[in-house]
Structure 1
Amino acid sequence: MSLTASVWMLFFVGLWGRTKPLDNGLARTPTMGWLHWERFMCNTNCDADPDNCISERLYMMMADVMAAEGWREAGYQYVCIDDCWMSKSRDAGGRLQADPRRFPGGIKKLADYVHSKGLKLGIYADVGTSTCAGYPGSLAHYDTDAQTFAEWEVDLLKFDGCSMDTTLLEEGYVNMSKALNRTGRPILYSCEWPLYEWPSQKPNYNTIAETCNQWRNFADAYDSWSSVKSILDWTATHQDIIVPSAGPGGWNDPDMLVIGNFGLSRDQQESQMALWAIMAAPLLMSNDLRSICRHSKELLQNRHIIAISQDELGKQGYRTAKVDHFEVWERPLSQGWLAIAVLNALEIGGPRRFSLKAAPGWKTCTPLCNITQILPQYEEVGVQIGHQVSVNPSGTALLVIMPISMKKHDQRFLKMQWSEKQTLL
């Protein structure tokens, strides 16, 4: 590799220093699982809609599917409850309690069931006086609620930020983090802290990363391409601020994957999956796994994309170029590989071609790269001095490249393919 290319790779891989992450041993790679909110929202009418209301039945069914249909083996570990699971008041001892009609066995029974499937259970609470849907919040109850979740053997807490004075957000989130750690149970801590702080001030990502395992920055994901685009645009606009905080132990969370629902075309589903992997984002699906279509299931379980998501180097990718209505997003991977996503931002016309030589990361190819295309279809392209990809409107081509010099000691890599490299991740 030439000096120029070596310096470029060093710059690219180590562009930002990492802040100190929360040291609870969790989220060493981005979280993977299922979360009810976008698809099922606050549906509590179990009399009229027993299969889709927020009840222990829903989570048990999702756990059954995740264990039976390859989701667990693909890496999806968490079955996560969102808002609307609680009773409207605490019990006589001041503890949170599940709605007794919809969760007759209580959360501990549900956790035992989910664990019996080889999965983990996530739960939801709020840093303020009430949740976003009006159920009891955790303000002034942090230690009690943390201990309750630990006794129930919960594995993840999503901690929202409704009904809270923004000047007290930091104190509240830090106090709950400490309370969770004091329980002695490993509970992954998913925060909404910067989401609620951005309207009034720039969040302190050093403190956030020391406090949380993942954190939301921007608006909820909706089942639409405009929503996904707005999240990507916000992330790219603020990447110089948010990317340095991400890495093993703590991740920027652009919110749920809505793949398998109603609002995204096939190409747009591929774009969300590819770019969430590039962003080292938690992969938390919000869909109905009981009725998901074959293509969406194959996309969500694609081992090549998941390998990028879970890469051990733990570097978040970012947007590196905008060229002729294409967006280039790149993520450095372990052992010197590079993932490149090329998004066709146009929503009109037909497929358009993009030369990888226009991607900033291509500068590492000296003079060759070994290329594997993952989306829109898998292809071992092989060793190339250049390559063009065809990308549909609002679609994304996802590739992995390995720079190759022609020095003798590099010849062993010429036949090494992406599928072999995954065994090293």
Structure 2
Amino acid sequence: MGWLAWERFRCNIDCEADPQNCISEKLFFDMADRLAEDGWRELGYKYINIDDCWSAKQRDGAGQLVPDPKRFPRGIKALADYVHSRGLKLGIYGDLGTLTCGGYPGTTVDCVEQDAQTFAQWGVDMLKLDGCYSSEEEQAEGYPKMAKALNATGRPIVYSCSWPAYQGGLPPKVNYTLLAEICNLWRNYGDIEDSWDSVLSIVDWFSAHQDVLQPAAGPGHWNDPDMEKFHVEVFLRPLSQAASALIFFSRRTDMPFRYTTSLAKLNFPDNTVYEVQDVYSGKIISGLKTGDNFTVVINPSGVVMWYLYPMVQPWCLVRQQGPGGGVHPLIL
């Protein structure tokens, strides 16, 4: 997880009139300090991500991307070094096209290898590759090509692809099997805006298409619903070792909502007992049976997240002959 500049700061490049809110090295140095000093890093927020409008309007004489010299006078490498010194990682934005969405130099297919090397030399840890000003054919060639180019640099760089968002987000135009092979995460839908209508439209889209989207995700390759703005709906995600993640999500904006249900109503297996941990509060609920009713209190525009795993039952143990003739229990 991390922090991304786009939703709040967009393409504000007027650093003379608005120095505290423009896209500049100062903004990212400051945000690195906030994540490191205000406790966000320890909660798992590790990435400081630059979005569009960071570069100069032209490539340099060698054809390389360069940051705007007035807004990033020390360069991206110095920024990356500072971010790393705070125990964080730096992400950057590119666009597979003639121009970025904001009108800055894009990464055409013939520049993919060069730009991948540039990002690696700067010490970048993540690349978000947008798709403005490119054709379907260029995207089909360029996104896999960038994956190979990033791997060829020898530097671990998380690769975020916007490719499916430009193809409607769904099969048959979107090949999620291929995406899982080349991308670490991908944008399926439009950008989030600063409104609940925008948040709900994204939630509704992912909910309507979860049967397609959920199987595509897994370790190392994830659906990306864009930035969080923590509204009641329940989302279930099976995890390894028979564990599960549950999210209770309230659409109300006026007052806390008390939601009562049971694991049985959420299609958990019958006659099972669970250990439950509230991910945010740390509260433990031990011995929750599938048929037991429980109540969660969800704040306006808030979320409650649970981590659950089945407690070992006596009938889950069998005895197995050991190498030396001894017998030891085996959990099935």
8 Å Cα contact 1:218-1:231 kept in structure 2: yes
Partner of 2:308: 401
CA 1:81–1:151 in structure 2 vs 1: closer, same or farther (change >3 Å)? Answer: same
Query: Displacement, 1:245?
Result: 1.8
After TM superposition, the structure 1 stretch with the greater mean CA deviation from structure 2, 385-394 or 100-109, is: 385-394
- Counterpart pick for 2:246 among 328, 336, 340: 340
Cα distance in 2 for partners of 1:105, 1:206 equals: 41
Query: Displacement, 1:402?
Result: 3.1
8 Å Cα contact 1:328-1:359 kept in structure 2: no
Partner of 1:227: 198
Counterpart amino acid of residue 215 in structure 2 = P
Query: Displacement, 1:63?
Result: 1.1
Partner of 1:309: none
Query: Displacement, 1:345?
Result: 4.6
Asked whether 1:40 is paired with 2:40, we answer: no
CA 1:374–1:214 in structure 2 vs 1: closer, same or farther (change >3 Å)? Answer: closer
After superposition, the C-alpha distances for 1:274-308 in whole angstroms (9 at most, x for unaligned) are xxxxxxxxxxxxxxxxxxxxxxxxxxxxxxxxxxx
Partner of 1:137: 106
Asked whether 1:211 is paired with 2:116, we answer: no
Cα distance in 1 for partners of 2:55, 2:214 equals: 35
Partner of 2:323: none
TM-score by length of 1: 0.68
Any gaps of 5 or more consecutive residues in structure 2?
A: 318-332
Asked whether 1:249 is paired with 2:155, we answer: no
CA 1:121–1:384 in structure 2 vs 1: closer, same or farther (change >3 Å)? Answer: closer
Q: Name the % identity.
A: 49
Query: Displacement, 1:360?
Result: 3.0
> What's the secondary structure of 2:77's corresponding residue?
helix
Partner of 1:323: none
Query: Displacement, 1:340?
Result: 2.0
- Counterpart pick for 1:95 among 61, 64, 81: 64
After TM superposition, the structure 1 stretch with the greater mean CA deviation from structure 2, 327-336 or 84-93, is: 327-336
> What's the secondary structure of 1:360's corresponding residue?
coil
Query: Displacement, 1:354?
Result: 2.2
CA 1:164–1:62 in structure 2 vs 1: closer, same or farther (change >3 Å)? Answer: same
Cα distance in 1 for partners of 2:33, 2:256 equals: 41
Partner of 2:144: 174
CA 1:357–1:335 in structure 2 vs 1: closer, same or farther (change >3 Å)? Answer: closer
CA 1:143–1:350 in structure 2 vs 1: closer, same or farther (change >3 Å)? Answer: closer
Q: How many pairs align?
A: 312
Counterpart amino acid of residue 142 in structure 1 = V
Answer 1 or 2: which has greater helix percent. 1
After superposition, the C-alpha distances for 1:24-69 in whole angstroms (9 at most, x for unaligned) are xxxxxxxx11111101111100001112110111111111222222
Query: Displacement, 1:384?
Result: 3.3
Aligned CA-pair RMSD: 2.4
After TM superposition, the structure 1 stretch with the greater mean CA deviation from structure 2, 116-125 or 385-394, is: 385-394
8 Å Cα contact 2:169-2:189 kept in structure 1: no
Answer 1 or 2: which has greater strand percent. 2
Any gaps of 5 or more consecutive residues in structure 1?
A: 1-31, 259-268, 272-325, 411-425
Cα distance in 2 for partners of 1:116, 1:378 equals: 29
After superposition, the C-alpha distances for 1:150-196 in whole angstroms (9 at most, x for unaligned) are 11111111100000112321211111111111222211111101000
Query: Displacement, 1:408?
Result: 6.8
- Counterpart pick for 1:146 among 91, 111, 116: 116
Cα distance in 1 for partners of 2:56, 2:102 equals: 12
Query: Displacement, 1:337?
Result: 2.3
Query: Displacement, 1:135?
Result: 0.3
After TM superposition, the structure 1 stretch with the greater mean CA deviation from structure 2, 364-373 or 214-223, is: 364-373
Query: Displacement, 1:224?
Result: 2.0
- Whichever of the two has the greater Rg, that structure is 2
CA 1:398–1:149 in structure 2 vs 1: closer, same or farther (change >3 Å)? Answer: closer
Query: Displacement, 1:361?
Result: 3.7
8 Å Cα contact 1:214-1:250 kept in structure 2: yes
Query: Displacement, 1:401?
Result: 3.2
> What's the secondary structure of 2:127's corresponding residue?
strand
